[in-house]
Amino acid sequence: MSQDEPEQAESSRASGLLRSTAVVSAMTVLSRILGLARDMVFSRFFGADAAMDAFFVAFKIPNIFRRFFAEGAFSQSFVPVFAEYDETREHDEVRKLAGRVGGTLGLILFLFTLLGVIGAPVLISIAGAGWLLNPDAESAEKYELAVDMLRFTFPYLLFVSLTALAGAILNTYKRFAMAAFVPVILNVVLIVFAAFLAPNYPRPGLVLAVGVFVAGIVQLLCMLPALARVKMLVRPRWGWNHPGVKRIANLMMPAIFGSSVAQINILFDTLLASFLVTGSISWLYYSDRLMEFPLGVFGIALATVILPNLSREYAAQTMEGFSAMLDWALRLVILIAAPAAVGLFVLSGPALTTIFYGGRFTGDDVSMATISLMAYSFGLLGFTLVKVLAPGYFARQNTKTPVRIGIIALVTNMVLNLVIVVPWYLSGASGAHAGLALATSMSAFLNAALLYRGLRKEGVLILSHGWGRFMLRVALACAVMAMLLNYFMPEQALWLEADIWRRCIWLVGAVAGGVVAYIATLFATGVRPVELSLKPPVATPPADSGPGA
């Protein structure tokens, strides 16, 4: 083998990973654009009123449990085991595992969903405790409406979790497009229900909840042909005693425990927000949606691609390739997520004004959502790093360490919520909801730092040469981009006065100009596309050091 052949193989592998990430990102971009369109419909038809506060709580609860059964604890445990089976077993054994997992998960989910529907008043009492404790009629209305909504939104958990199982199987076979596309269906269905059906009924918010139920069914049905094409459309059967199912369950237990803490934290956030002024939950939702756009388009897409690939590297015991892939993913994160965070912070007000302002979403709503979006944008890099670092543990079937780290970060988040939000609220100053976003961002960086430290100490992540120089160049490019955006961007008052088309032109121009300024500065400082190649790790790094020069 010539000296160039390993480098060519690494380059080819990096290109393949980039192509897979690009496919997932493209589908995710489509989904996020339609998600923004959906939220634009929400903001214009419903604004940030009591009905939307109730809907967002009722929709959040099944999505909280989704972290256990769908893309969270289950997927992180299922993909490594399934990838190992596919790498080392006959196809019939792989099909049998898929059928046993599907049947076991499906029955457990059905029973859990039934309990959720029956116990809707209890769940809303926990998530919206502030509504019960407030004696006014508006709070009572929000509580009753949220209970009725939850009885339609909770079954979404069953459908979306089975959809996630199908997506995890397809991702293992490097069929990323369909799994990344199905969220589009949710957005399309909700747009139809919000714009065309809800206005014709006396309780339009309840119609949105029915739309969530319908979307879940359609998403699952759309995955079945894709499973058939990879010969994985198998009959689900109960299989608790199957060895593969047992392994997945054992891996899930610590992940579920960690996810439980995470979801308790989300419920705690929602509970605190329910004590704040009406609109706080909606303002946090709209700002979070804009923060989730770059996170979903890039961070989650990259994590989706690297988990099955890292799992295969670990199954094949090629730890040098495992480390190189993690190093490559981290460089890509810094290169893309850092400017996205800076741009989102600078353009928070203009972006919210362009996308949501109008109809029942007022200028005051824009101001309140801007504060929380700026707080969320501060943590975007931390959120993205967590998405990429955690697979370094899950791919090695180590769920305990990221769970322990996650618990530390989440307990810290809850403490920060109390330390920041309570004094803010008691002072009488507006915008206390932004304290929840700020605490979340701070805990994300703590989570990422502890995950990084653990991978370095274990010797799993060995950094390639030139990290310090690379980070300085990215920081300089981000600073240049921020200064230019601040200098040329119109004042917020002008954004509110401009019509929708002018705001769109300004926002597109600002984003395009920021991208050009960032890339030009990177190029001027010497960053080249070779930065995205899979590089060999440094031979003997310090076990606990940060990125070297």
pLDDT tens per residue, range 455-511: 999 888 888 888 899 999 999 999 999 999 998 889 999 999 999 899 999 999 999
pLDDT band of residue 20 (cuts 50, 70, 90) is: low
- Number of CB atoms found within 10 A of residue 458's CB: 14
- Number of CB atoms found within 10 A of residue 319's CB: 15
Tokens standing for 520? 């030009």
- Number of CB atoms found within 10 A of residue 36's CB: 19
Whole-number pLDDT of residue 261: 54
Whole-number pLDDT of residue 548: 34
CA distance 488 to 24: 33
Whole-number pLDDT of residue 541: 43
Q: How many residues does the chain have?
A: 549
Whole-number pLDDT of residue 4: 52
CB pairs under 8 A, 24+ apart, for 252-255?
252/73, 252/74, 252/77, 252/399, 254/399, 254/400, 254/403, 255/72, 255/73, 255/76, 255/77, 255/399, 255/402, 255/403
Tokens standing for 53? 């506060």
Angle at 463 between CA 519 and CA 74, to 5 degrees: 90
pLDDT at 272 over 90: no
Whole-number pLDDT of residue 116: 95
Q: Which residues pair with 361 in a beta bridge?
A: 358
Run of H or E residues at 237: none
Among all chains, which residue has been given the structure tokens 């009722």?
Answer: 58
Model pTM score: 0.70
Least confident range of 152-156, 245-249, 252-256, 436-440: 252-256
**What average pLDDT does range 334-340 have in this prediction?**
91
Q: Which residues pair with 36 in a beta bridge?
A: none
Tokens standing for 47? 């604004």
CA distance 217 to 237: 20
pLDDT at 452 over 90: yes
**What average pLDDT does range 254-277 have in this prediction?**
69
pLDDT at 332 over 80: yes
Whole-number pLDDT of residue 394: 80
**pLDDT tens by residue, 340-370:** 999 999 999 999 999 999 888 889 999 999 9
pLDDT at 215 over 50: yes
Whole-number pLDDT of residue 549: 28
Q: In 3D, which of 338, 344, 334 has the Cα closest to residue 287?
A: 344
Q: Name every residue whose Cβ is closer than 8 Å to that of residue 294 and which is 6 or more positions away in sequence.
A: 337, 340, 341, 344, 380
CA distance 543 to 549: 15
pLDDT at 11 over 80: no
pLDDT at 221 over 80: yes
CA distance 518 to 510: 12
Share of the chain above pLDDT 90, in %: 43
**What average pLDDT does range 41-59 have in this prediction?**
87
**What average pLDDT does range 177-206 have in this prediction?**
89
Least confident range of 4-8, 66-70, 187-191: 4-8
Q: Could you tell me the end-to-end alpha-carbon distance of the chain, in angstroms, rounded to an integer?
A: 32
Least confident range of 246-250, 319-323, 463-467, 515-519: 319-323
**What average pLDDT does range 192-205 have in this prediction?**
89
Whole-number pLDDT of residue 542: 40
- Number of CB atoms found within 10 A of residue 440's CB: 27
pLDDT at 300 over 70: no
**What average pLDDT does range 99-114 have in this prediction?**
94
pLDDT at 539 over 70: no
Run of H or E residues at 138: helix 137-153
Measure the CA dihedral 347/29/358/504, to 10°: 60
Whole-number pLDDT of residue 538: 47
Question: Counting Cβ atoms within 10 Å, is residue 543 exposed (0-12), middle (13-18) or buried (19+)?
Answer: exposed
Which of 203 and 96 is assigned the larger pLDDT?
96
Q: Which residues pair with 358 in a beta bridge?
A: 361
Helices (H) and strands (E) in the chain, counts: 23, 0
Whole-number pLDDT of residue 181: 86
Whole-number pLDDT of residue 483: 96
pLDDT band of residue 139 (cuts 50, 70, 90) is: confident
Which of 104 and 179 is assigned the larger pLDDT?
104
When the pLDDT of each residue in the chain is averaged and rounded to a whole number, the result is 84
Question: Counting Cβ atoms within 10 Å, is residue 544 exposed (0-12), middle (13-18) or buried (19+)?
Answer: exposed
Which of 325 and 20 is assigned the larger pLDDT?
325
Which of 269 and 152 is assigned the larger pLDDT?
152
CA distance 21 to 15: 10
Whole-number pLDDT of residue 540: 39
Domain borders along the chain are 6-46+49-254
